[in-house]
Amino acid sequence: MLQLIKKILKTGIVTENYKAPKDDELESLGIQIKRHIDKKFSGSIAIRQVDAGSCNGCELEIHALNNPYYDIERFGIHFVASPRHADVLLVTGPVSRHMQTALLRTYEATPNPKWVVAVGDCAACGGEFGVSYASCGAVSNVIPVDVVIAGCPPTPLALMQGLLGLINK
């Protein structure tokens, strides 16, 4: 037990040794987002991410929003496990036909008011995959889209800027 506590204490110190850099752009962007979320959403918006056919590139960058550098939760944005808990659907990929119904059902399961953000070039316009027997192309071909964040994939900063755009709407 002593060893465990010692380990926890030691681990704690290791964490504190790493300080997040002062990234001015990130900080000011985050503060803007936070201000709007506080005003319009009582301090918090919940996001449900849906991969509707992406290559997984966009997911990697959405993941990065939760790393210690961006730590998007400090601005009141958090990811939830169910569309029923969500204000925003963050949809990636060209919508594959095999995911079309799943995406429609996820959209229906999200309570109103809700917003849809199409993330990445594929979600925006079909990207490299376009429309085919297997792909519906852009997310807006399947469900209404409020904001588009372009990029292949969009960087974490671009994602934050895009989310700010949604909140400002």
Partner 1 sequence: MSSANWTTGFLNQLIATAITVEQISLPSTTLWQIESNHWQQFAKLAKQQSVRWVAGWAEHVEDRFFVNACFEKQGVYVLSRTIVHVAKPELPSQAGVYPAANRSERHTQDMFGIHFTDHPDNRRWTRHQAWSKHDYPLRKDFSVQGEPKAVTPPDMDYPFVKAHGQGVYEIPVGPVHAGIIEPGHFRFQAVGELILNLEERLGYVHKGIEKIAEGRTPTQLARLAGRVSGDTTVGHSWAACRAMELAAGITIPPRAALIRGILAERERVANHLGDMGAICNDVAFVFAQMQFTRLRELWLRTHTTVFGHRLLMDLIVPGGVACDLSNASCALIKQEIALFRRDLSEVVPVVDLNSSLEDRLYTAGYLSQETAAAFGTLGYVGLSSGQDFDVRRDAPYPPYDQVTFKVALEDQCDIASRFWVRYKQIISALKLIEQFMAKLETGDLLTEWQTPPTGSEALGIVEGWRGEITTYIRFDADNKIARFYPRDPSILNWPALEKLTLNNIVPDFPVCNKSLNGSYSGNDL
74, 30 in Cβ contact below 8 A? Answer: yes
Cβ within 8 Å of residue 32, ≥6 positions away: 164
Give SS3 for 71: coil
Q: Does 94 bind partner 1 (CB under 8 A)?
A: yes
State in angstroms the smallest separation of the CB of 79 from partner 1: 6
**Strands of the 45-51 sheet, one edge to the other:** 77-79, 45-51, 88-92, 115-119, 147-149
Which residue among 34, 41, 78, 97 contacts partner 1 (CB under 8 A)? 97
Q: Closest distance between partner 1 and the C-beta of residue 35, in Å? A: 25
Binding positions for partner 1, 7-66, rule CB under 8 A: 7, 10-11, 14-15, 17-18, 49-64, 66
Distance (Å, whole) CA 116 – CA 97: 19
Q: Minimal CA–CA distance to 26: which of 79, 80, 64, 78?
A: 64
Q: Which is nearer to partner 1, 10 or 22 (CB)?
A: 10
Smallest gap from Cβ 39 to partner 1, in A, equals: 27
Q: Which residues bind partner 1 (CB under 8 A)?
A: 4, 7, 10-11, 14-15, 17-18, 49-64, 66-69, 79, 81-83, 93-94, 96-102, 104, 106, 127-136, 152-153, 155
